[in-house]
């Protein structure tokens, strides 16, 4: 079957697959009051997740990122990694984690087929980290990143949400950290979601502020690669690591979109914002339904919008980023 493509010529080879909306951190911009389950969890089972992966792979997907919430909270997390790694045609298996289990399990996850790790670290100052996340395990998280580097994962990244009043002045800390470490720091602009309008107004920091500082210090933008999507990456000859900027409010941000999302309850999201999701779960009960599932994916892409509507103040139906995996 042909590759997933929308009406605007964008091709989608990257799936972000959420396996839980639960998280044990209390990040101010996402779950400031902690995770509140809505009834009994009904997340996709491993066989359902496998059918999602196989259907997307048949439609041209080559990279799967396992997300949450915090994906490693699932007891079958390693089984799910193995399912992804053993899916025909999938070339890269990644995950995004808060890192609290990374030091202990990085080697196990790698043996299961995990290639790339993104760790959410919104400050390299332990006190600021605790204020933002509501969790005091900063040292354990950083130890986990060191362990992943020791194991020579294909790529290790740190995701940092830019927060005015919390980490806006910490670029020197991050630059010092990657001087001798082959780590990508990805600064992500705070995005407005349905439940956090006031927090967004108080703490949004444009990525251009960091971009200007990098350029003034001799950093140069790298050519885009296929997996980069909308991220702008910068390198400097004196640093082992790189800096990436994800700026959803910038002009033409959506032009290079290459990813789709499936929530932990089996809904396809064509965008992180704008819509409530397209049901897939009714087609995940049997391998015999895979052809119909693939057809539904192709039909769904016909309804994808050219851009999000964040510039218009429309945060869409997403209540918070943990709900569909960020």
The rounded average pLDDT for each run of 10 residues, N- to C-terminus, in the chain (326 residues) is: 88 96 92 80 94 98 96 98 98 98 98 98 97 96 98 97 93 98 96 75 91 97 74 96 89 80 94 79 98 97 75 50 58
Dihedral of the alpha carbons of 27, 28, 29, 31, in degrees to the nearest 10? 60
pLDDT for 191 equals 83
Phi, psi (rounded to 5 degrees) for 226: -60, -35
pLDDT for 30 equals 87
Q: Which helix (H) or strand (E) holds 64?
A: strand 63-67
Q: How many CB atoms lie within 10 A of CB 67?
A: 28
CB-neighbour burial class of residue 218 (10 A; exposed 0-12, middle 13-18, buried 19+): exposed
DSSP state of 229: T
pTM: 0.92
Q: Are 64 and 53 a contacting pair, CB within 8 Å?
A: yes
Q: ω before 120 within 30° of 0 (cis)?
A: no
Q: Which domains does the chain have, with CATH numbers?
A: 14-323 (3.20.20.70)
Q: How many CB atoms lie within 10 A of CB 24?
A: 19
Q: Are 230 and 248 a contacting pair, CB within 8 Å?
A: yes
DSSP state of 8: T
Separation between Cα atoms, residue 133 and residue 121, nearest integer Å: 9
Token readout for 175 is: 């630059």
pLDDT for 112 equals 98
């Amino acid at each position: 079957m042909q590759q997933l493509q929308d009406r605007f010529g964008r091709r989608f080879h990257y799936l972000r697959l959420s396996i839980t909306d639960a998280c044990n951190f209390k990040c101010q911009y996402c779950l400031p009051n902690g995770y509140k389950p809505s009834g009994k969890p009904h997340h996709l089972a491993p066989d359902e997740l496998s059918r999602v992966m196989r259907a997307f792979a048949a439609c041209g997907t080559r990279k799967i990122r396992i997300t949450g919430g915090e994906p490693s909270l699932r007891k079958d997390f390693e089984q799910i990694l193995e399912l992804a790694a053993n899916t025909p045609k999938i070339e890269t298996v990644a995950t995004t984690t808060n890192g609290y289990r990374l030091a202990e399990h990085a080697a196990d996850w790698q043996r299961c087929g995990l290639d790339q790790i993104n760790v959410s670290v919104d400050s390299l100052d332990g006190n600021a980290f605790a204020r933002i996340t509501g969790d005091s395990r900063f040292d354990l998280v950083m130890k986990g990143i060191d362990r992943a580097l020791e194991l020579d994962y294909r790529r290790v990244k740190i995701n940092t949400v830019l927060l005015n009043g919390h980490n806006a002045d910490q670029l020197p800390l991050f630059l010092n950290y990657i001087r001798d470490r082959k780590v990508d720091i990805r600064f992500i602009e705070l995005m407005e979601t349905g439940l956090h309008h006031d927090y967004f107004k108080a703490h949004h920091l444009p990525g251009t502020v960091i971009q200007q500082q990098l350029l003034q210090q001799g950093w140069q933008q790298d050519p885009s690669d296929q997996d980069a999507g909308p991220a702008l990456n910068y390198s400097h000859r004196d640093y082992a690591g790189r800096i990436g900027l994800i700026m959803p409010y910038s002009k033409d941000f959506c032009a290079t979109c290459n990813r789709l999302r499936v929530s932990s309850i089996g809904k396809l999201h064509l965008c992180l914002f704008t819509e409530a999701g397209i049901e897939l779960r009714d087609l995940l009960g049997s391998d015999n339904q895979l052809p119909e599932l693939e057809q539904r994916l192709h039909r769904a892409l016909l309804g994808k919008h050219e851009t999000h509507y964040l510039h218009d103040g429309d945060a869409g139906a997403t209540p918070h980023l943990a709900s569909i995996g960020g």
